[in-house]
Amino acid sequence: MDNKYFFSSDEQKLLDALVRGDISFHKVGKQTNLQTAIKIRRAALEKLTGTDLDTLGQFTIDSEDASQRNIENMIGAIQIPVGVAGPVCIKGEFAKGNYYLPLATTEGALVASVNRGCSAITSSGGSTVRIFKDQMTRAPVYCLDGVKQSREFVDWIKLPEVFVKLKKKASETTRFGELTAVEPYVTGNNVYLRFCFDTKDAMGMNMVTIATQAIVDLIGDEIGIYPISLSGNMCADKKPAAINSILGRGKTVIAEVELTPEIVKNKLKTTPEAIAEVNYRKNLLGSARAVSLGFNAHAANIIAAMFIACGQDPAHVVEGSNTITTMEVTKYGSLYCSVTLPSLQIGTVGGGTKIATQNECLRILDAAGAGEIPGYNSKKLAEIIASAVLAGEISLVGAQAAGHLARAHAELGR
């Protein structure tokens, strides 16, 4: 460990000071260049923990860019296997054609399962996908003198001329974001204002936070009322919440496909009736009995794998898991399958989408960066992820209906 790094005398002094605890990991970056700071932090951590961190130090991403945009106190990078499923045929408003799905995961059998679902969907002519709502939210909380003032504040917020002012103020902070609605919620003397924004190709959390700060400053200047916190958890960000399932947050997107009995038999080795019964008793009744906010088999599995591959914030998988899966036998004997994702928070600009490996995965989907039409690429990505979730749900529920789940994991899960 001691001999693999070649530090100058000044760099060695920094390393020794860091090991002694005389300076912080962050301060190292203030006293030397980025590449050296990464090595010093890693060398110090090796000494402090007695752990060899050679593999963490081997990566291809641009550490300069990542340190500016994505990470503090960088010591290296984690590698996660990426597999590909597909092609899957998608008939969306934004995603049109055949797509190969990059999935980053350490769960054996997941990519194979999604791949089987893609085959069933494509053999059936493709998934039909539509986006029903697109909004990112931030909800500051105010503490007022009592219910009388709470009511007066809410009535003022609802005035059309006030909304025009707030919208104009928000527009001064962003070129692309747009305030679309303000939804007030009151609990006693607490007022929560859920501001809704169209953030175009960005996932938009930073955008709406900055815009909301400008709005609350304007409200304070206008009527002398200031928030207790810029986020009052009515947003609700990175937490399971019924409000996101009901009202939506990010993209609200639905994907569907109809599978013939022949495709169900040949691809999934079971029948439409068996799959519909498993879905009803597992995803619907079982989830209701568990008081789950998600009525699905494993939507979060696919969302997480695509989020990690495509540079999305993995913490937002919790909202993506609100997915509702429906499967029913049609009057013609086919199997109708759909997934409804009420709160899929994604973007194709900002965040981790610029990291080279993640950007390559977005380019596989032809959804990297901002499209010529603002918001086009993020909507395309939403339709692709919804179709991937549909594929995963069809495959897993089909495996359970056929009694193949344990066998698949024994063979592929290792």
What are the strands, taking DSSP E only, across 160-235?
A: 178-187, 190-198
Residue type at 361 in one-letter notation: C
Residue 213 CA neighbour count, 13 Å, CB half: 7
Residue 301 CA neighbour count, 13 Å, CB half: 20
* Active-site residue (options: 16, 366, 404, 409): 409
> Can you spell out the DSSP letters for 234-298?
SS--SS--HHHHHH-SEEEEEEEEEE-HHHHHHHHSS-HHHHHHHIIIIIIIIHHHTT-S-BSSS
Residue 62 among the catalytic residues: no
Residue 313 among the catalytic residues: yes
Angle between helices 299-309 and 110-123 (to 10 degrees): 100
Largest CA distance in the chain: 79
Among residues 10, 30, 13, which one has the least CA distance to residue 22?
Answer: 13
Q: Which ranges constitute the DSSP H helices of 62-204? A: 63-69, 110-123, 147-157, 160-171
Phi, psi values for residue 132, rounded to 5°: -105, -20
Distance CA 379, CA 54 (A): 40
- How many other C-beta atoms are found inside a 10 Å radius of the C-beta of residue 33? 10
* Active-site residue (options: 152, 313, 328, 360): 313
CA angle (311 as vertex; 307, 314 as ends), nearest 5: 45
- How many other C-beta atoms are found inside a 10 Å radius of the C-beta of residue 65? 12
Residue 64 among the catalytic residues: no
Distance CA 310, CA 288 (A): 32
* Active-site residue (options: 107, 152, 277, 360): 107
Kindly state the tokens that stand for 47: 């000494």
Going by C-beta distance under 8 Å and a sequence separation of 6 or more, which residues neighbour residue 65?
Answer: 354, 355
- Catalytic sites, residue numbers: 107, 313, 409
